[in-house]
Structure 1
Amino acid sequence: MIKKAFKMKIYPDCHVEYQKRHDVLWPEMKAMLVKYGAQTYSIFLDEATSTLFAYLEIEDESLWSQTATTEINQKWWLYMADIMETNLDNSPNSIELTQVFDL
């Protein structure tokens, strides 16, 4: 099992909207995440800084890396681009974190 963590930023006035969109995550998005090896995927919000912390466990890094080019993921990125910091291709501006401890 490969553990991954990263952080992203949402706009301060979009906390509720971000939660709302994830509460009704599209079934085809959920299916894609599982198809490409996500065993678990959680996102946490630091409301004081509007920083999101994401944690997931995947089966295979090369399989997971293919998620970025799926049609559904591209559609999701476009859908989320108005409420968070993104790159020019609408992908979330994310910073991968290095694991330093595991119990």
Structure 2
Amino acid sequence: MTRVCFQLMVRPELLDEYIARHTPVWPEMLAEIAASGRRNYSLFLGDGGRLIGYYETDDDQAAQAYLANSEVAARWEAEMGRFFVGLEGRPDQAATPLTEVFNLADQLAAAGSAATDTTREGNAS
């Protein structure tokens, strides 16, 4: 599973309309997002129009390709493009990805396996 986080800037003068467009998103677009393999998808809006998106997928390249070829996604993204500052291309294809530097579950799992390895080594003596 891959976790993907991205950042975009929504034009401040269009914030209310942007929020309204997502309350709710078109049902056929929701279906396309799910069909692409993206899940646990959320958008968070910060001060000044900073938008952070997050989703999980098993194959991000396949999800990107699916949405790039989707007529529904193309229509949605054509309407959404005007909301963003400094964006070249479709928002779903051109968003700036963020690098993950910490994940609690991953580190707990690693710490647990390290503790198990240490316990095994201690018992081997």
Q: Greater RCO between the two (CA within 8 Å, min separation 6)?
A: 1
Larger fraction in strand: 1
Number of the residue aligned with 1:98? 99
Q: CA deviation at 1:62?
A: 2.9
Cα deviation code 1:17-39 (max 9, x no counterpart): 11100112111100001111012
Measure the CA separation in 2 of the matches of 1:60 and 1:26: 24
> Which protein is richer in helix relative to its size?
2
TM-score normalised by L of structure 2: 0.74
**C-alpha distance in 2 between matches for 1:10 and 1:44:** 11
Give 1:60's aligned residue: 59
* Equivalent AA in structure 2 for residue 43 of structure 1: L
3-state secondary structure, aligned to 1:6: strand
Aligned length: 100
Q: Percent identity?
A: 31
Q: Indicate the residue corresponding to 2:22 in structure 1.
A: 22
**RMSD of the alignment, in Å?**
1.3
Letter in 1 for 2:100: Q
Aligned to 2:51, what secondary structure does the other structure show? strand
Q: Distance in 2 between matches of 1:75 and 1:99?
A: 30
CA contact (8 A) 1:39 1:59 kept: no
Structure 1 residue runs of 5 or longer lacking an equivalent are: none
Whether the 8 Å contact between 1:58 and 1:64 is mirrored in structure 2 is yes
Cα deviation digits, residues 38-94 of structure 1 (max 9, x gap)? 1210010112x311000001121232121122111110111112222331x4x1252
Residues of 2 paired with 1:65 and 1:25: CA distance?
19
